[in-house]
Amino acid sequence: MLDPLTLFSTNAEIMDTDGLKGLNLLMGFTGYADAGQVTTQISEELLNHLDHELIATFDADQLIDYRSRRPHITFIEDHFAEYQPPRLELYRLHDSLQQPFLLLTGFEPDFQWERFASAVIALVRRLDVNLVTWVHSMPMPVPHTRPLGVTAHGNQPNLIEGITAWKPTAELSAAIGHLLELRLAESDIPVVGYVVHVPHYLAEATYPQAAAGALEYLGAAAGLMLPADRLRDEGRSVERQIADQVAGSSEVQNVVANLEKRYDEYAQGMERRSLLTKDNDELPGAEELGAAVEAYLATQVWPSGGSGTNDGTADGEYGGEYGGEAEEHDDGPREDGS
């Protein structure tokens, strides 16, 4: 393996100052199942509304496949300008109470995962990070009319117990966040991750409710006051748009009602189970349940400029990964973690 320390450059002026030591680190990477654009929204919200300083920059040329994820560039009349290079960076931010914390955000590396993980661990040790917490989102066959569900995992029982009752054993396609959590835990570094469940028929839309909920979990775990109010306000506007669009189709209403029934049955049942578990085909697949929704919402324009389509993987590739129940958290996790 090439030297992990040569994979990034640092801001020498503040890198080894006392103000960077002992902070909590938040992580989020785009490029893997970012249902509802949760990770993208969180990064933009934090960097656009909180004071921040660049601490370290990773070498994108060594980590990304440009032909699979082409950067954007602007053409102005007769010339090119405003090239937008891919970024993977570490920042120091201050929350609403001026508490400092670290944020590692940007694209998920295509190459050199083990070297990247070693580089992150080296930074974590150099900065004496107190806790690493990360978030991503997955499409799930759940209704948008119920509280968002979250699956928690990591090596900090006090931050994950009581959130997810169903604990499966499964083999799944890995993301860089998964590998980082594994390597951090192997290095005895405190780490916890949260997966937000996004209604699969809204996975391709910008879904502010999910981003706001993710911020609440990150903030609760790291003891930070993170800005979620604007996302919640925007989420209420999106909810009204979705309600109007659903009201325009009796077929969609029936599908949503079916999802609500399944959600309520499994959330309130004596045995807490995954909404994705099938017993004798009792639960239809997400593709079957969402067919009418997709057909209708695919024609709608969403706030992100995209559509309400999904990739049909909610009960396939991703269905076996996170089968946590949908917990009723209207305003993020409670103090007791339930």
- Tell whether 247 is covered by a domain: yes
- Tell whether 127 is covered by a domain: yes
The Cβ-side half-sphere exposure at 54, using a 13 Å CA radius, reads: 11
Residue 272 has pLDDT above 70, yes or no: no
Regarding pTM above 0.85, the answer is: no
- Tell whether 281 is covered by a domain: yes
What pLDDT was estimated at residue 84? 96
- pLDDT 10s digits, 205-264: 999 999 999 999 999 999 999 999 999 999 999 999 989 888 888 888 888 999 898 888
Q: Let me know: does 338 contact 272? Beta carbons within 8 Å.
A: no
- Tell whether 29 is covered by a domain: yes
Mean pLDDT of 100-111: 97
User: What band does 166 get if pLDDT is binned at 50, 70 and 90?
Assistant: low
Residue 325 has pLDDT above 70, yes or no: no
Q: Let me know: does 160 contact 192? Beta carbons within 8 Å.
A: yes
User: What band does 154 get if pLDDT is binned at 50, 70 and 90?
Assistant: very high
The Cβ-side half-sphere exposure at 205, using a 13 Å CA radius, reads: 26
- Tell whether 2 is covered by a domain: yes
- Tell whether 99 is covered by a domain: yes
Structural domain of 280: 1-333
Mean pLDDT of 285-311: 42
Mean pLDDT of 78-95: 97
Q: How far apart, in whole angstroms, are the C-alpha atoms of residue 88 and residue 119?
A: 13
State whether the Cα torsion 120-171-220-201 is positive or negative.
Answer: positive
Q: Check which CATH number belongs to the domain holding 197 and give it.
A: 3.40.50.10900
Q: Let me know: does 235 contact 209? Beta carbons within 8 Å.
A: yes
Mean pLDDT of 20-31: 95
What pLDDT was estimated at residue 165? 61
- Tell whether 338 is covered by a domain: no
Residue 282 has pLDDT above 60, yes or no: no
Please count the structural domains in the chain.
1
